[in-house]
Amino acid sequence: MSKTALLFAGQGAQVVGMGKDFAAAFPSSRAWFDRANTALGYDLSAICFDGPEAELTKTEHAQPGIFLVSWLALALLKERVPALSGAAAAGLSLGEFTALTAAGVMSFEDGLRVVRQRGRFMQEACDVTQGGMAAVIGLDEAPTREVCAEAGVSLANLNCPGQIVISGEANRIEQAVELAKAKGAKRAIPLVVAGAYHSPLMASAQPKLQAELASVTFSAPIMPVISNVTAQPHTDPDAIRARLVEQVTAPVRWEESMRYLVAQGFTRFIEFGPGTALSGFMKRITKEVQLFNVADLASLEATVKALS
């Protein structure tokens, strides 16, 4: 019997039009969009469906938008394949909140509101710092850590073999890019982002997020959810809150998280939400698992067909 892990997209996956074909095809999807709009007090669905891109890309809209479309993708797959049962969940950065909500830790409305506030707090941190990020391709972790130490920047995302994202002050990122190339990176590419996510430059967002999380009722997860900070399953609600606050400045240990699940016998991974970045990472981590994704109507139908 194959064990199935549910994976949830992170920020950067947003695309104008996401969720629109779900809402057109399924009344249940339209109802979720209406619930989301009511919970947030503004029309998130209009921004997801029609943009403009500059509005959707704002962290405070991108985070709840991706959360919502990922949640919808899971709800629709469960509707179409009632026997589907996830035995664990994980999400990339923002996606960790979606995974925890899918595991019953927070209500849908609370999860949505928290990620919207998280987006706002992170944007505020970006606005008062001069931060940047870069993707380092084709360089191992040890030499990338050396680059970070020399340039005074941080590891932000350990995504998969040969792809690490670094984060820090914009001028130091420029220096790190040149150092990475000198150490043998195939490529080192500055990313178009609002700031230095998963670095100490985000620290001002932490007490605000901590206060927000303190106001939300948390339950114990009904299935294991892998923490970005520890690459191990979350434990009790208080520890979950603490890890989610840490996550704002800590590196996302994604490759390690996926290797943990593979070692636990997981052989089927389903990615929910816009894009296929997580499936792409998994192909670099191992070829020994089945990969599916639900991002839109076409991928939903393909996954339903494969699982039925």
d(CA 127, CA 202): 10
The most distant pair of C-alpha atoms in the chain lies apart, rounded to whole Å, by: 55
Instruction: Tell me whether residue 51 is exposed, middle or buried, using C-beta atoms within 10 angstroms of its C-beta: 0 to 12, 13 to 18, 19 or more.
Output: middle
d(CA 256, CA 197): 19
Of the residues 29, 45, 70, 93, only one is catalytic, namely 93
CB-based contact 9:271 (threshold 8 Å): yes
Of the residues 70, 167, 198, 234, only one is catalytic, namely 198
Strands of the 266-272 sheet, one edge to the other = 88-91, 3-8, 266-272, 290-294
**Cα dihedral across residues 277, 141, 241, 89: positive or negative:** positive
Amino acid identity, residue 120?
A: R
Rounded to the nearest 5 degrees, what angle is found at the Cα of 269, between the Cα atoms of 265 and 271? 155
d(CA 298, CA 304): 10
Q: How far is CA 42 from the centre of its chain?
A: 23
d(CA 102, CA 221): 9
- Is 93 a catalytic site residue? yes
CB-based contact 45:23 (threshold 8 Å): yes
- The residue length of the chain stands at 308
Q: What burial letters (b/e) apply to 97-117, b meaning 16+ CB within 10 Å?
A: bbbbbbbebbebebbbbbbbb
Which active-site residues does the annotation give? 93, 198
